[in-house]
Structure formats: C-alpha cells, structure tokens
Amino acid sequence: MNLREIFNSAGETLMRTGSPDAQLEAEVLIRHVLRIDRATFFRDLEQPVTDCDRERLDDLVNRRLNREPLNYITGLREFYGLDFEVSDSVLIPRQETELLVDTVISLARSRPKCEMKICDIGTGSGAIAVSVAVNLPSAEVMAIDISQRALDIADANRRMHGVYNRVSLRRGNLLEPVDWKPEIIVSNPPYIRRSDLSLLQPEIQYEPRVALDGGPDGLEVIRGLLRQSSDKVSSTGAILFEIDSSQKDSARMLSREYFPNSEISILDDLSGNSRAILIEKFDL
Ligand SMILES: C[S@@+](CC[C@H](N)C(=O)[O-])C[C@H]1O[C@@H](n2cnc3c(N)ncnc32)[C@H](O)[C@@H]1O
C-alpha cells in the first residue's frame, strides 16, 4: 500500500472516535511514525509504506480508537507557539489557557520594574511558566506542583526552551514552597466539580485526576490558593487564575472574601467565555 491509501484508511478508521478531525489526526499519526514534516508527507503520497511502519501506525490508531488523546500518543502539544513535551502525568495544555500567559506578559510589561518574580502554581507540563519566561527575558518564575511526575515533564520543557536558569521547580502544596513575595501569582488550578469528572469525555479520563479534581464544588483548590496568596502576594502585585465560565460569580465572591478592598476583574477568552479572575490593587 502507498502512503495515500494508508492515509485514507487510517482517516476512515479514526472517524469511529467521532472526532471531526479524524483525517488530520491520521496525518499527524502517520507523520509521527515516519518522522516526516507536512511538506514531505504530501510530496510522498504515492510512495510505498513498509510493513513495519504500517504495523506501528496500526498500533497508534488502535490507541486513538481507545480514545487516548492524540497528544499523549505523539508526546507533544503546541502551546503559545511553542512545542511542549506531554505525557499522561500532566494535563494537556489547553488553548484557552493562553489567556493567562497573555495577561501575565501585559501585566509585567506595564510595570516599571524589569525583573519580575512570578509564581506558576500547579505548573503541570510547565506550559505557563516556560511561555512566560520565554517572552519575558528578565522574569524569574517559580513553578510549583504537587506531582513529582509533572515536575519531571516541566523540567524537560524548561530545558528544551532554554529557560532552565530562570524557571525554578518546587514540589509542594500550592504556595507553601514560596518564602518571598512574588509580584504575580498565576495558576490554572484543578477546578472541575468532583461529581462531574466521570461525565467528561473519554479522552479526559486519561488525564491525571489531580489536575482536574476541584473537590465537591470545584473551588476547593482555588479557595486554598486565595487563602495562601493573601499572605504571600506583594502589595503591588496581581493574582490571576483560570476558572470555568460557570464559576465566574462564585469565584468572584470567593476572591472578594479574601481580598475585600481589591480590584477584581473577570477576563474572557477568545470564544467570549469568562475564563479567568484577576485580582489587583491590594490593601493588605
Ligand atoms: C489544570 S492542571 C494545569 C497544568 C498547567 N499549568 C496547564 O495550564 O496546562 C493543574 C495542576 O495543578 C497541580 N496541583 C493540583 N493540586 C495541587 C496543589 N495542592 N498544589 C500544587 N499543585 C497542585 C496538578 O498536579 C496539575 O499539574
């Protein structure tokens, strides 16, 4: 069989997952097996494919049919224009989280001080910490996670993007490892209500539960983050965290409890959904 035939057949098989991107996923898996770029893929469509490569592709297609996320199969995910290593030890970074990176970058650029100290709480793959460090060459980022396996992936990513010296990694519960006052605290915490976890699509069941489970009301980790931040954040700093749009009122009220005199804004993502809370102008 040639590459075009393999491509068509893998695309048809992958439609069984219900993915609207079945054909694109087939292309990604084939390029992953053959280690070729897009241009080579389309140039070589009439070339034969070896039995060995076909067997490897069948194996990956079967994993995808079992609803394993494509990014866990390829081990890569693009975020903020950068490639990140991912595995089932970390959440696959979502496009909507890029809002947090955009906001940290503009907050940092609007401040007179060049050297910014930033904390990324629940760093996972390091997507936020590394993207911020790459785009803010004077910033120092401490990236914290409760999971050592996640920190191992974040370590690979900070090295891959040349920010090893400015992204430090700590294992711990939320801000406990921080013994100084960061200017910006950013976090994409687990915020899914525990009772909703089993209802999520099969792909999400492969992601670490500790990355998703926000406790009975989805706000348990956010509550801890706000409580700990009130002692740690610099008085001229900012706290920024991701939410689900359904949580915007409850997360705003919770933020008001911990920071009664601060400015609290809700930020929308590109789809117009409420996606993050920003707390500034502290009266600590
Ligand atoms: C939703 S994931 C976010 C990962 C990454 N920042 C991103 O945006 O792709 C949440 C992360 O928080 C970590 N986490 C959960 N509870 C934590 C806690 N109490 N302290 C520190 N990290 C925690 C999880 O291990 C997971 O990596």
DSSP codes joined into one string, 121-152: ES-TTTHHHHHHHHH-TT-EEEEEES-HHHHH
Task: Tell me which residues of the chain have a pLDDT lower than 50.
Answer: none
Binding-site residues, ligand 1, Cβ < 6 A: 90-91, 93, 97, 121-125, 127-128, 144-147, 150, 173-174, 188-190, 210-211, 221
**Residue nearest ligand 1's atom 14 by CA:** 122
| Contact between residue 67 and residue 101 where contact means Cβ atoms under 8 Å apart | no
Identify the three-state secondary structure at position 102.
Answer: helix
* Most distant CA pair in the chain, distance: 69
CB 242 within 8 A of CB 186: no
Closest CA to 103 of 260, 283, 250, 279: 279
Alpha-carbon dihedral sign for residues 162, 166, 170, 174: negative
Query: Contact, 122 vs 185, CB < 8 A?
Result: no
Q: What is the pTM of this model?
A: 0.95
Neighbours of 66 (CB within 10 A): 10
Tell me the domain boundaries of the chain.
3-66, 91-280
pLDDT of residue 112: 78
Which CATH architecture describes the domain 91-280? 3-Layer(aba) Sandwich (3.40)
Residue type, 237: G
Centre of ligand 1 from the C-alpha of residue 56, in Å: 33
DSSP E strands: which ranges in 146-254? 167-171, 184-187, 238-242
pLDDT of residue 235: 82
Residue having the nearest C-alpha atom to atom 17 of ligand 1: 146
Q: What is the pLDDT of residue 107?
A: 94
Which of 79, 88, 28 minimizes the C-alpha distance to 188?
A: 79
Q: pLDDT tens for residues 136-147?
A: 999 999 999 999
Residues in the chain: 284
Which pLDDT value is given to residue 242?
A: 98
Task: Using CB atoms within 10 Å of the CB of residue 153, give its burial: 0 to 12 exposed, 13 to 18 middle, 19+ buried.
Answer: buried
Q: Which residue, 107, 105, 108, is CA-closest to 135?
A: 105
Element (H, E) at 82: strand 82-85
